[in-house]
Amino acid sequence: MSVSDLGPWSLEVRADLMHTMADLLDDPNPIHLDPEAVSRLGLGDRVINQGPTNCGYVVSMLLDAYPGATIRSLRLRLVGQVRGGDRVVAGGRVESSERAGDGRLVRCAVWLDVERGARAVEGTATVELGEAS
């Protein structure tokens, strides 16, 4: 597990919320909804979390670390799967910080790991902090 300046932020992934996300995405992909379909595709026996949800955990970690901040960029690679029942841990490391107008621009490495498992998301984020930061 990487040393984290931001986070750690964690939660247990609920399979029932994959149905909510499938509805928001209008995404019928059964790998998110049906363990038997996952098994038929040779991808294991637990439903697989939607990618936008895994990316969203990283955003939630950033906005917990910097309440009220504005995200300017996100470059995220999905490098592993997250499954229903997994506990995930999001974190980040500040790479640079510079003044920008009345605020600051903070560039971070960010990630999402499956606890006792593999990395699921990695990338970078640029966050703009306001005047009071």
Partner 1 sequence: MRLADTELPGSTFVVAPEDDRRYAEVVAGRAEDDESANPLWAFIAALTGTGLDITGLFALADCDVAQDGPMLGACDLEYARPLEVERPYRVEAVIAGLERKHGRSGAFDLMRVRAALSDEAGEVATCLTTYVIPRRQ
Applying CB under 8 A, which part among 48-56, 91-99, 100-108 lies near partner 1?
48-56
Piece of 44-52, 91-99, 101-109 that binds partner 1 (CB under 8 A): 44-52
Segment interacting with partner 1, rule: CB under 8 A, options 73-81, 92-100, 103-111: 73-81
Query: What letter would DSSP give residue 89?
Result: E
Q: Could you say which of 74, 105, 109, 129 contacts partner 1 (CB under 8 A)?
A: 74
The 10 Å Cβ neighbour count of residue 38 is 21
Whole-angstrom CA distances from 129 to 33, 62, 64, 92 are: 38, 11, 13, 16
Residue 33 touches partner 1, criterion: CB under 8 A: no
Q: Which residues contact 109 (CB under 8 A, 6 or more apart)?
A: 92, 93, 95, 122, 123, 124
Residues that bind partner 1 (CB under 8 A): 11, 17, 20-21, 24-31, 37, 41, 43, 48, 50-53, 55-57, 59-60, 63-64, 67, 70-78, 123
